[in-house]
Chains A and B, each alone.
Chain A
C-alpha cells in the first residue's frame, strides 16, 4: 500500500482530531495525504458489546461504512478494542443481517417476506386483541378477600432492552405501561 506505520498512525490521530470536538459526522482529515482515510467521513460511536463503553470511529464513503476502529481520543480505551469491539465492522457489513420483515403463519414451515405496513398493522391488531381480552381492571386479593383496582394487561409479555439506546428504553417503558403490561422484563434479571 506504500504507507508507513507512522503514516497509518498519523492518519488515525488526524481522523480523530477531525471529530474530536463534536463527534458528529464530519469530513475526516482532508489534509492528511497518503492516508487510508482521505476523503472519508468520520463519526464517533460507542461499542455495542460490553459495558466498558469503549469509543470507536466509523469511517464512511458514499454512505457506506468502509472502516471502523478504536477512537484514540476516548479517555477509557485510547483507541484500544478487544476482539468483539474490533469486529463491529462485521455487524454493520454482514450478509447475515436481517434486511426484510418476515412472517411465519401458524403451522407453516417457512417465513414469507412482508411489508412493514402489513406487519405493523397486524401486530397492532394482535396487541389490541390480546389486551382487550386479558385486561384485568379489578381483582380480588386472595389474602384479604378485598377487591383492588389493578388495571393490568395479562396474557402479554414484553422482553428486552439491554441492547437498546436509552431513549428507546424510555419509550419502551412508557409504551409498555400505557398498554398495562405488568410482565415487562429484560436481561438484567438473568
Chain B
C-alpha cells in the first residue's frame, strides 16, 4: 500500500476492484465504515455480489479478467469529462513528455512487436530527448506526441458501450461508478483504490495494476491522505517476505539479483544505477551502489573489500526465468533434486495441482517446515498414489507458531510490528530462525571439513548472531538496519556527524558505497537504531489527526506513513487539500511539517534545490506512459487465456507476450462457463492454518462452489447437491451453493454463467476437500508470471466425481 489501513478513513470515495476486504481483510472495514460515516462513498466492482459489495453505495458486476476494459473506461471518462486534476497531471506525471515518433499502436499491437520471439523492443517506446539529454516536454500538453494526447487517443476507444459489452456491466452502473469516483479528481477530494489478487492474477496482471495507478495519477490521488494505490496483501508478512527479496530475481530491499550478463560489480552497478541529467530529479535509485555495497558488507563482513568487489562473485547469477511455475515445470521434468518448503504448500498452492503433485514425485528429497502436516509433506500418500512408487526422502520439521518466538512482521501498510514470545514452542517444535541457523551451521561445518565445490560463499559468510540456543533475533534485526564498520564522519549540510565503529546507522541516507556501512535491507535502515527497536514502539499518539500514528511501530521507508507525499502539495509546498495536509512546507522555518516527507528538499518550485515528487523514477514523474513494461506502455484490454468471448477491441485475442500452453482450452462446448477462485474469512490460503482449527472448521467444514439460480435451474442442481466441476486440467467434487449473489454476465450480447470457488481445501487437516487449484491453468502474467487463477473455463454437472 502507498497508504495504510487507518488512512482509509480519510477517503471521499473508496473503490474496491479485485479484492473483497469485508471477507478477506475484515478489520479494514472499521476504517472503510468510518469514511462512510463521514460521507465517503463505497464502490465495489466484482464478478460476484460479495460481502464488500453488500456494504457498497454502488455495485458494478464485472466479468473476471476484464479489469483493463473497466479501468480504461474510467480513464476515458475522466479525460473526456475534464475530471482530472490538471495541475497534478501536468506537473507530477509524464503527461507532458514527448514520445519519439516511431511509437504507434495499431490493431491491438504496439510498434516493434516480434511475432517469433513474442516480445517488443522497449527502446522503440522511448521519450524524445532534447540536446541536453533530458526528455522533451510540452507543458500545454497539446503536442500530438505528448503522453497526454497519446493517452487520450488510446482510451477514446474505451467508451461506455464498448466497455460494458466487454465487461458485462450494466451501463448505468458503470457510469455511476465512473462519475462518483472521478469526482475525486478535485484537489480537495481523495479517492483510494483497493485491490488484491483479482487484479494481479491475470495474464495482464501488471497492466491491471498500472491501470489502477494511472487512474489515480490522473485524479491526483497518489501521495495524499485518503488516496493511494493500495494492494491488500494476503499473508501477515508477505509484504516483509517481498521486502527481503525472496523471489528468484531479487535481493533484500528491491535490489536486483545479478544476471549472468552483469559480469562484475562495476557492470552490475552500471546496469542498475539509473542516471538523469535533470538536476530536479532526486533519482533515488542513483543510490544503488550504497545499498548493494552495504548489503554485501552485511553478508560477507571483513571478507568483503573493494579489492574483491565486496565478494560480488559469491552471489548466484540468474540466466533464465525461475519464477514459481517455471520451477514446478523443471521439477516435473526431473531437473530438481531437492526442495525446501518454509511454510509453503506447493501440492495445492499453485496452478494445476495435479501437475505440481506429479512434480513432487520426481524429487530425491523434500524438507517441509510447518506447524502442521500439509498436503505437501504427505504428497507421497495422497489419494490415488502408491507410496511404494515414490522414492522421495521426506523430512517433516515442526515449526513454532508466532506466539512462541520473537520478531517482526510487516503489514500491508508497511508497518513493521514486533511480536513477543509468550510461551515455549509446543513439543519439540522450533522457530524458523533456529531451523535456518541449523541448516547454515551444519552445511558450513561440512564445507569447512570436507571442502566441496566453490565453498567460499558459505565458509566466508558473516553469521554472527550470538552463542545462544538460537540466533539472537535482536542481532539479526540490528544487522538488517546496518551499522558503521569504522569510525566515520559525515557532513550533512550544516551538521557534522561523528559515528563510532559499531554504531547503528540512523537512516539510509547515511549508508555508504565504500564499505564503511552495512545494511542487510536498506529500506529497513532506521528500524533498529541507537534509540532501540523502533518496531516495538507502542505510543498511540496521533498529532495530525490523520491516523498516521508516527510512534506506533515503524514503517519503511524512514517511518514515512504515506509515500509519494511530495505529490500531496502544490509545487510551492502548500497542501492541495488544506483540510487533510499530509505534509506542508514551512517557509519561515524552511522545513516540512507533518508526515516524514519523501526527501528533505524544499518544494519542487525552489529553483536551487526543489525536486520532483516521484523520486524512485529517473525522470521524477509518475508514469502514465511506462517505459519498462514488457507488454506495452499503456494497458490494453486482452481476453483471459481461456475466455468465453472474442476481444471486441482488436483482433489480438490474448496478451501477445504470453505463450499459450498446451493445457489451455477455449472449447466452449466442453467448457462453457467462467471459473474463478477466491478466499473467505473462515479459511486461509492452503488451509494449513485453519483447516486444523475446530472453531473454524465448524464454521466452514466443506469445499463448496457457488453458482447462480439460473445455472442451477439449467443443470438441475439444488443447494447442497454434490457437483463435479471440470476443466482441461482436472475435475473436483464439491457441495453446490446456489445463490442470488451470482448472476450471469451479458457479454457481447450473450449470457455467460460463472462458477465461483474457494481454493482453501485439500487432503490434509481436519476438514478435507478437493483443491480448486486442480482446475486452474499454468499460464501467467507477461511481466511477473503470476498465474491466471481468476478467469478460466469450466463446466459443472450434478453428482460428484465418483457419481
Q: Bound complex: CA of A122 vs CA of B787, how far in Å?
A: 35
Q: List 9 A-B contacts (CB under 8 A).
A: A51-B411, A100-B398, A111-B394, A157-B340, A160-B344, A180-B316, A185-B248, A187-B344, A190-B349
Q: A130-B337, A155-B338, A190-B350 are in contact. Are A169 and B244 (CB under 8 A)?
A: yes
Q: Do B408 and A167 have beta carbons less than 8 Å apart?
A: yes
Complex interface: chain A residues within 8 A of B447 (CB)? 128
Interface residues of B in 466-481 (CB under 8 A from A): 471, 473, 476-477, 479-480
Q: A25-B422, A139-B319, A165-B419 are in contact. Are A188 and B241 (CB under 8 A)?
A: yes
Q: Do B313 and A151 have beta carbons less than 8 Å apart?
A: yes
Minimum CB–CB distance for B415 against chain A, Å: 6
B410 at interface by CB-CB < 8 Å: yes
Complex interface: chain A residues within 8 A of B442 (CB)? 120-121, 123-124
Most chain-B CB neighbours within 10 Å: which of A55, A87, A122, A187? A187
Q: A163-B237, A169-B244, A190-B787 are in contact. Are A185 and B397 (CB under 8 A)?
A: no
Q: Do B246 and A44 have beta carbons less than 8 Å apart?
A: no
Minimum CB–CB distance for A150 against chain B, Å: 4
How many inter-chain residue pairs (CB < 8 Å) link A and B?
Answer: 491
Binary contact readout B3-36 vs A (1 if CB under 8 angstroms, 0 otherwise) = 0011000000000000000001111101000000
Q: Do A149 and B313 have beta carbons less than 8 Å apart?
A: yes
Interface residues of B in 509-527 (CB under 8 A from A): 520-521, 524
A6 at interface by CB-CB < 8 Å: no
Complex interface: chain B residues within 8 A of A188 (CB)? 238, 241-242, 246-247
Interface pick from B97-105, B363-371, B570-578: B363-371
Q: Bound complex: CA of A30 vs CA of B770, how far in Å?
A: 50
Complex interface: chain A residues within 8 A of B438 (CB)? 116, 120
Minimum CB–CB distance for A8 against chain B, Å: 20
Binary contact readout A17-61 vs B (1 if CB under 8 angstroms, 0 otherwise) = 000111111000000000000000101111111111111001010
Q: Do B428 and A170 have beta carbons less than 8 Å apart?
A: no
Complex interface: chain B residues within 8 A of A9 (CB)? none
The 5 closest A-B pairs by CB, nearest first: A99-B427, A53-B411, A165-B407, A160-B342, A124-B442
Q: Bound complex: CA of A129 vs CA of B246, how far in Å?
A: 23
A83 at interface by CB-CB < 8 Å: yes
Complex interface: chain A residues within 8 A of B153 (CB)? none
Complex interface: chain B residues within 8 A of A108 (CB)? 387
Complex interface: chain B residues within 8 A of A153 (CB)? 316
Q: Do B403 and A103 have beta carbons less than 8 Å apart?
A: no
Minimum CB–CB distance for B75 against chain A, Å: 27
Q: Bound complex: CA of A11 vs CA of B480, how far in Å?
A: 38
Q: A22-B538, A159-B340 are in contact. Are A180 and B324 (CB under 8 A)?
A: no
A81 at interface by CB-CB < 8 Å: yes
- Which listed residue (B398, B424, B432) contacts A101, Cβ 8 A? B398
Interface pick from B157-165, B452-460, B486-494, B606-614: B452-460
Q: Do A177 and B315 have beta carbons less than 8 Å apart?
A: yes
Q: Do B403 and A127 have beta carbons less than 8 Å apart?
A: no
B74 at interface by CB-CB < 8 Å: no
Interface residues of A in 83-115 (CB under 8 A from B): 83-88, 90-92, 94, 96-109, 111
A145 at interface by CB-CB < 8 Å: no
B588 at interface by CB-CB < 8 Å: no
Complex interface: chain B residues within 8 A of A184 (CB)? 246-248, 322
Q: Bound complex: CA of A184 vs CA of B324, how far in Å?
A: 8
Minimum CB–CB distance for A41 against chain B, Å: 8
Q: Bound complex: CA of A188 vs CA of B234, how far in Å?
A: 9
A65 at interface by CB-CB < 8 Å: yes
Complex interface: chain A residues within 8 A of B473 (CB)? 165, 167
Q: Bound complex: CA of A24 vs CA of B536, how far in Å?
A: 9
Q: Do B446 and A159 have beta carbons less than 8 Å apart?
A: no
Q: Bound complex: CA of A158 vs CA of B344, how far in Å?
A: 10
Q: A51-B237, A52-B412, A91-B689 are in contact. Are A163 and B343 (CB under 8 A)?
A: yes
Complex interface: chain B residues within 8 A of A109 (CB)? 381, 387-388
- Which listed residue (A65, A127, A174, A175) contacts B422, Cβ 8 A? A65
Interface residues of A in 135-161 (CB under 8 A from B): 135, 137, 139, 141, 148-161
- The residue of chain A having its C-beta at the shortest distance from the C-beta of B696 within the complex is A87
Q: Do A179 and B458 have beta carbons less than 8 Å apart?
A: yes
- Which listed residue (A123, A150, A174, A176) contacts B395, Cβ 8 A? A123
Minimum CB–CB distance for B544 against chain A, Å: 13
Q: Bound complex: CA of A98 vs CA of B247, how far in Å?
A: 28
Q: Bound complex: CA of A139 vs CA of B320, how far in Å?
A: 12
Q: Do B408 and A158 have beta carbons less than 8 Å apart?
A: no
- Which listed residue (A21, A94, A119, A130) contacts B693, Cβ 8 A? A94
Q: Do A161 and B342 have beta carbons less than 8 Å apart?
A: yes
Interface residues of B in 599-633 (CB under 8 A from A): none
Q: Bound complex: CA of A94 vs CA of B433, how far in Å?
A: 22
Minimum CB–CB distance for B597 against chain A, Å: 22
- Which listed residue (A52, A97, A152) contacts B25, Cβ 8 A? A52
Q: Do B439 and A162 have beta carbons less than 8 Å apart?
A: no
Q: Do A165 and B432 have beta carbons less than 8 Å apart?
A: yes
Q: Do B457 and A134 have beta carbons less than 8 Å apart?
A: no
- Which listed residue (B390, B445, B542) contacts A107, Cβ 8 A? B390
Minimum CB–CB distance for A184 against chain B, Å: 6
Q: Bound complex: CA of A173 vs CA of B480, how far in Å?
A: 12
Complex interface: chain B residues within 8 A of A15 (CB)? none
What 20 additional pairs, Cβ within 8 angstroms, besides A46-B236, A97-B372, A160-B342?
A49-B235, A51-B234, A53-B411, A63-B423, A83-B699, A98-B397, A100-B427, A107-B391, A108-B387, A111-B394, A135-B453, A160-B344, A162-B237, A162-B344, A170-B479, A175-B440, A181-B316, A182-B257, A185-B327, A189-B786
B797 at interface by CB-CB < 8 Å: no
A10 at interface by CB-CB < 8 Å: no
Q: Do B693 and A52 have beta carbons less than 8 Å apart?
A: no
Complex interface: chain B residues within 8 A of A116 (CB)? 428, 430, 438
B747 at interface by CB-CB < 8 Å: no
A166 at interface by CB-CB < 8 Å: yes
Q: Do B436 and A171 have beta carbons less than 8 Å apart?
A: yes
Binary contact readout B295-327 vs A (1 if CB under 8 angstroms, 0 otherwise) = 000010000000000000111111100111101
Q: Bound complex: CA of A131 vs CA of B450, how far in Å?
A: 14
Q: A47-B236, A155-B338, A179-B458 are in contact. Are A170 and B260 (CB under 8 A)?
A: no
Interface residues of B in 93-112 (CB under 8 A from A): none
Interface residues of B in 367-388 (CB under 8 A from A): 367, 369-373, 380-381, 387-388
Q: Do B337 and A186 have beta carbons less than 8 Å apart?
A: no
Complex interface: chain B residues within 8 A of A130 (CB)? 337-338, 364-365
Q: Do A171 and B476 have beta carbons less than 8 Å apart?
A: yes
Complex interface: chain A residues within 8 A of B418 (CB)? 23
Q: Do A75 and B299 have beta carbons less than 8 Å apart?
A: no
Complex interface: chain A residues within 8 A of B315 (CB)? 151, 177
Minimum CB–CB distance for A113 against chain B, Å: 10
Q: A163-B237, A170-B244 are in contact. Are A157 and B693 (CB under 8 A)?
A: no
Q: Bound complex: CA of A106 vs CA of B395, how far in Å?
A: 11
Q: Do A164 and B429 have beta carbons less than 8 Å apart?
A: no
Q: Do A94 and B692 have beta carbons less than 8 Å apart?
A: yes
